[in-house]
Amino acid sequence: MDFSGTWRVHSEENLEDFLKVVAPEMVIKMRKDVKPVVVIEQNDKLFTFTVKTPVCTHVHSFSIGKESEITTVDGSKFKCTVREENGKLIAETDKFTSVREIQGDNMVEVSDPGLHFLYKSVMFYFLTVSAFSSSFRLSLLAL
């Protein structure tokens, strides 16, 4: 399964309860009203996740089946191993397990304890308009 693309968090359930397990209070307060955009680049078994918020951007890379170190928004680090199983990405740490899969045009992530994210694909459309001898390109962002 190819996870490559740009994904915006559309909905989330139990975010605060999940963050209480994995993040300090400062991050919980900061994250409540933010809907991150996640850019995933996949090259076979190598993944790069870029998580963008109005406050900061974090990039982390990992290879399927190999332990990697992830740095969180608050700068703390944890070890994580991601495996692929039946088209799903399963990330395991000592604090939580996360299962991510593509369902149609959506990406769904369910984490134990109790977190559920629904991501919508962000697509860029280009429209070319000709006026007299000039060409104009208009970029529209579909959200």
Q: Name the more confident of 92 and 27.
A: 92
Is it the case that residue 89 has pLDDT exceeding 80? Answer: yes
Tens digit of each residue's pLDDT (9 = 90 or more) over 7-52: 988 877 665 666 565 555 655 556 566 778 899 999 999 999 998 8
Tens digit of each residue's pLDDT (9 = 90 or more) over 40-78: 999 999 999 998 888 778 898 999 999 999 876 667 788
Task: Delineate the domains of the chain, giving CATH numbers in brackets.
Answer: 5-125 (2.40.128.20)
Tens digit of each residue's pLDDT (9 = 90 or more) over 93-132: 887 788 999 999 899 988 776 655 566 777 644 443 444 4
Cα distances (Å, whole numbers) of residue 16 to 26, 40, 50, 52, 108: 12, 24, 22, 19, 18
**Amino acid present at 131:** A
- Closest by CA to 14, choosing from 22, 24, 6, 3, is 22
Sole residue written with tokens 């299962």: 99
pLDDT reported for residue 13: 67
60 C-beta neighbours (distance < 10 Å), count: 15
